[in-house]
Amino acid sequence: MLSEHEPDANRMPVARTLTGNIPLSQLEQDLEDIEIELESAEAEREALTRWIYQLQRCVAATQDSAFLSEVADQTLDCGEIFALQGWVAETQLQELQAFAESQGLVLLIEDADPNEIPPHCWKIPSS
């Protein structure tokens, strides 16, 4: 039903709904365009994520190699001599010294250089 004037709100058995002034055919065309854009975006996402697993494996291998290199810089394996460098908490120095003596190992304890940042040893309180 079309009318030049809007009817009173109390004359209709249901609440009035504003549908706007855009024709239904235009709304349907806009919907179809948006669905095509969504399909394109999904296809692009799939294309971009296709290689994620292989890239993650390459990154992991590179990180493993870098970590191994870092650890190798802290050890020396030369025939019958094996040296290891690391950090130990001051509270565990006596235990480490006792272990070294019981195993016949040489132990050299040095303070950290001022430019080094030793790791923190956090104690978890017992509950």
What is the average per-residue pLDDT within 11-17? 77
Residue 21 pLDDT more than 80? yes
Is residue 84 within a helix (H) or strand (E), and if so which, with residue range? strand 81-84
CB neighbour list of residue 105: distance below 8 Å, 6 or more residues apart = 99
Distance (Å, rounded) from C-alpha 83 to C-alpha 77?
6
Average pLDDT on 7-14 reads: 77
Residue 15 has what pLDDT? Answer: 78
Please, which residues have CB within 8 angstroms of residue 109's CB and are 6 or more apart in sequence?
Answer: 93, 97
User: Which residue shows structure tokens 């706007």?
Assistant: 20
Cα distance between the two ends of the chain: 76
- The pLDDT score that the predictor gives to residue 2 is 67
Average pLDDT over residues 73-84: 78
Q: Residue 127: what pLDDT?
A: 67
Q: Residue 105's closest CA among 126, 77, 83?
A: 83
Here the tokens at position 79 are 């025939």
User: Residue 85 has which token pair?
Assistant: 């460098």
Q: Which residue has the higher pLDDT, 39 or 113?
A: 39
Most confident of 15-19, 76-80, 90-94: 90-94
Distance CA 122, CA 18 (A): 64
Task: Give residue 123's pLDDT.
Answer: 77
**Per-residue confidence at 1, pLDDT binned at 50, 70, 90?**
low
Structure confidence at residue 38 as a pLDDT band (50, 70, 90): very high
